[in-house]
């Protein structure tokens, strides 16, 4: 869980991805809360850096495993964007620079 500050009250944001229909959250009486990431990072750059450090520690420890579905080379980046635009992505899409 990644903490963020909203109106002086500490709250928790849980990052997750879903493969099922969005109405499943409604059927299970779940709440989906979003954050305007750009504004948050500008307002809280130190907390943002700390969050990324924590995420990389979890990744290195094998405690999280992002679902990477597709990889594209840099020269195929237009195909990667088309893949996203056509809503074919079911996991993370990676554009490899080198």
For 21-34, the pLDDT digits (tens) are: 666 777 777 777 77
Q: Supply the pTM of this predicted model.
A: 0.47
Count Cα atoms within 13 angstroms, Cβ side, for 85.
6
Count Cα atoms within 13 angstroms, Cβ side, for 62.
0
Task: With CA atoms as reference, report the closest residue to 19 among 64, 69, 56, 82.
Answer: 69
Q: Indicate whether 13 and 29 sit together in one domain.
A: yes
Q: Indicate whether 50 and 11 sit together in one domain.
A: yes
Instruction: Give me the pLDDT at residue 20, please.
Output: 53
Question: Cα separation of 58 and 60, whole Å?
Answer: 6
Instruction: Give me the pLDDT at residue 81, please.
Output: 94
How many structural domains is the chain composed of? 2
Q: Indicate whether 57 and 76 sit together in one domain.
A: no
Task: With CA atoms as reference, report the closest residue to 69 among 6, 19, 4.
Answer: 19
Q: Indicate whether 39 and 75 sit together in one domain.
A: no
């Amino acid at each position: 869980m990644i903490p963020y500050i909203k109106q002086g009250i500490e709250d928790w944001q849980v990052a997750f991805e879903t493969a099922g229909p969005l109405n499943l959250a409604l059927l299970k009486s779940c709440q989906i809360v979003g954050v305007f990431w750009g504004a948050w990072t500008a307002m809280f750059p130190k907390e943002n850096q700390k969050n990324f450090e924590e995420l990389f520690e979890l990744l290195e420890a094998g405690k999280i495993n992002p679902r990477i579905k597709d990889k594209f080379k840099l020269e195929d980046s237009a195909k990667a964007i088309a893949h996203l635009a056509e809503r074919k992505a079911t996991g993370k899409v990676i554009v490899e620079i080198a």
